[in-house]
């Protein structure tokens, strides 16, 4: 089978001899599968195509600086929104406005063909994923409508469960009883419809019962768009080794989350103490109608020095990556930063401009240029193609 040129570029080994990491990084195809700027930008009233250094993890210029070729933007709202589907469309409209204002710098990506075009033209490939099945409001027709607008993955649950799938939070806290956990008939139908559409199934945030029901139902490779490793940090949002092995058998990819609390098991305890110190500030923002997670992020930005002091080292993110590679191989790991959806990542990863530091760290750990290309984007390209309708 003849492979697309861009896939060959992503997978071919480098020329003999070590490459300087800046050259390798910027010649590789970098895909980040989860960035929350659409919702964070609305919450903070920030335009993506402005200079947002110090106010957000992301902006258009720093995407280029960081060598990001394709960004999957997360379309998200919390379950407290009265009309999640309308909110999803509002956020998609925002992303569309960025692309329309910057036609020489951004390009919609809906399939592997568009992916190749965007990379070839040097534009930021702009993809969409919806974070939380509640945003389709139990409607397969709304799932179809979001696909038609360009959404190419659905995270089946957020922290909240839907009527058809249970979340990691609700399963582990007992909010959903064991006999009601997992996918029901509507949930299995949604999985089948996603397979038929060519929409990637994202198992991040899913409870274990939902996860295993998905793996039994899907006919195509899945992704975890922003999850890390339970064996190194036993958080309910992370994936256990048997889940990682199942994703690998399925042909899927685990895209590692940069959130400090999913990398370092001591972080959230320290962050909770800081949160209590600044509780009044956070509560005042929530009272204005701001989503609680974004209120917490704004307060953390205001008190950056305190939060910087408890961030784990970048090496810990690489430890999570090494664990996946040792367990199932380099074909099944990628990057899903969660930038602009977290208050803190590892030390040194302050925004999208810092992605080259990951490539440098991978080289220092002995990863080959070929394997680095797989991690940065080649693995996602493979799964995207495998999900497209034939």
SS (H, E, C) the chain: CCCCHHHHHHHCCCCCCCCCHHHHHHHCCCEEEEECHHHHHHHHCCCCCCCCCCCCCCCHHHHHHCCCCEEEEEECCCCCCCCHHHHHHHHHHHHHHHHHHCCCCEEECCCHHHHHHHHHHCCEEEEEEEECHHHHCCCHHHHHHHHHCCEEEEECCCCCCCCCCCEHHHHHHCCCCHHHCCCCHHHHHHHHHHHHHCCEEECCCECHHHHHHHHHHCCCCCEECCCCECCCCCCCCCECHHHHHHHHHHCCEEEECCCHHHHCCCHHHHHHHHHHHCHHHHHHHHCCCCCHHHHHHHHHHHCHHHHHCCCCCHHHHHHHHHHHHHHHCHHHEEECCCECCCCCCCCCCCCHHHHHHHHHHHHHCCCCHHHHHHHHHHHHHHHHHHHCCC
Per DSSP, what are the bridge partners of residue 223? 202, 253
pLDDT of residue 138: 97
- 303: Cα separation from own chain's centroid: 25
Q: How far apart are CA 224 and CA 380, in angstroms?
A: 11
Q: What domains lie within the chain, and their CATH numbers?
A: 31-36+66-76+84-264+313-387 (3.20.20.140), 267-311 (no CATH)
pLDDT of residue 214: 98
Residue 249 CB contacts under 8 Å (≥ 6 apart), including other chains: none
pLDDT of residue 264: 98
Angle at 380 between CA 182 and CA 114, to 5 degrees: 115
Alpha-carbon dihedral sign for residues 94, 357, 204, 56: negative
Predicted model pTM: 0.92
> 208-229 burial, b for 16+ CB within 10 Å, e for fewer?
bbbbbbbbebbebbbbbbbbbb
**Per-residue tokens: 203:** 């198992």
Q: How far apart are CA 262 and CA 292, in angstroms?
A: 19
pLDDT of residue 20: 53
Query: Are 327 and 242 contacting, i.e. CB atoms less than 8 angstroms apart?
Result: no
Query: Are 165 and 203 contacting, i.e. CB atoms less than 8 angstroms apart?
Result: no
Tens digit of each residue's pLDDT (9 = 90 or more) over 123-153: 999 999 999 999 999 999 999 999 999 999 9
Give the pLDDT of the chain (390 residues) as one tens digit per residue.
344 444 444 444 433 345 456 899 999 999 999 999 999 999 999 999 999 999 999 999 999 999 999 999 999 999 999 999 999 999 999 999 999 999 999 999 999 999 999 999 999 999 999 999 999 999 999 999 999 999 999 999 999 999 999 999 999 999 999 999 999 999 999 999 999 999 999 999 999 999 999 999 999 999 999 999 999 999 999 999 999 999 999 999 999 999 999 999 999 999 889 888 888 988 888 888 887 878 888 888 888 888 889 999 999 999 999 999 999 999 999 999 999 999 999 999 999 999 999 999 999 999 999 999 999 999 999 999 999 976
């Amino acid at each position: 089978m003849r492979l697309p040129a861009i896939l060959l570029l992503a997978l071919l080994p480098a020329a003999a001899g070590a490459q300087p990491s800046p050259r390798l990084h910027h010649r590789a195809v970098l895909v980040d599968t989860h960035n929350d700027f659409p919702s964070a930008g609305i919450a903070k009233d920030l335009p993506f195509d402005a200079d947002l250094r110090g106010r957000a993890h992301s902006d258009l210029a720093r995407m280029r600086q960081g060598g990001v070729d394709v960004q999957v933007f997360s379309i998200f709202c919390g379950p407290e929104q009265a009309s999640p589907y309308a909110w999803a469309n509002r956020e998609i409209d925002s992303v569309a406005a960025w692309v329309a204002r910057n036609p020489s710098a951004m390009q919609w990506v809906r399939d592997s063909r568009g992916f190749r075009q965007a990379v070839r033209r040097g534009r930021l490939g702009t993809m969409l994923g919806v974070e939380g099945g509640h945003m389709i409001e139990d409607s397969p027709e709304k799932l179809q409508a979001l696909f038609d607008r360009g959404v190419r993955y659905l995270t089946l649950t957020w922290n909240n469960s839907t009527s058809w799938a249970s979340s990691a939070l609700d399963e582990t806290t007992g909010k959903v009883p064991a006999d009601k956990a997992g996918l029901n008939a509507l949930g299995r139908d949604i999985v089948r419809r996603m397979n038929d559409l060519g929409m990637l199934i994202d198992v991040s945030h899913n409870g274990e019962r939902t996860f295993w029901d998905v793996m039994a139902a899907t006919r195509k490779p899945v992704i975890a768009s922003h999850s890390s490793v339970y064996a190194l940090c036993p958080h309910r949002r992370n994936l256990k080794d048997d889940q990682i092995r199942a994703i690998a058998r399925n042909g899927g990819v685990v895209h590692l989350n940069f959130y400090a609390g999913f990398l370092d098991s001591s972080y959230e305890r320290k962050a909770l103490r800081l949160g209590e110190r600044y509780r009044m500030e956070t509560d005042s923002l929530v009272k204005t109608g701001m989503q609680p997670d974004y209120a917490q992020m704004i307060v953390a930005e205001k008190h950056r020095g305190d939060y910087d002091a408890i961030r784990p080292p970048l090496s810990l993110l690489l430890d999570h990556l090494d664990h996946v590679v040792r367990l199932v191989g380099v074909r099944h790991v990628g990057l899903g930063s969660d930038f602009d959806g977290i208050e803190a990542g590892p030390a040194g990863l302050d925004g999208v401009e810092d992605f080259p530091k990951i490539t440098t760290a991978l080289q220092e750990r002995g990863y080959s240029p070929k394997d680095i290309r797989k991690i940065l984007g080649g693995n996602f390209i493979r799964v995207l193609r495998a999900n497209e309708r034939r």
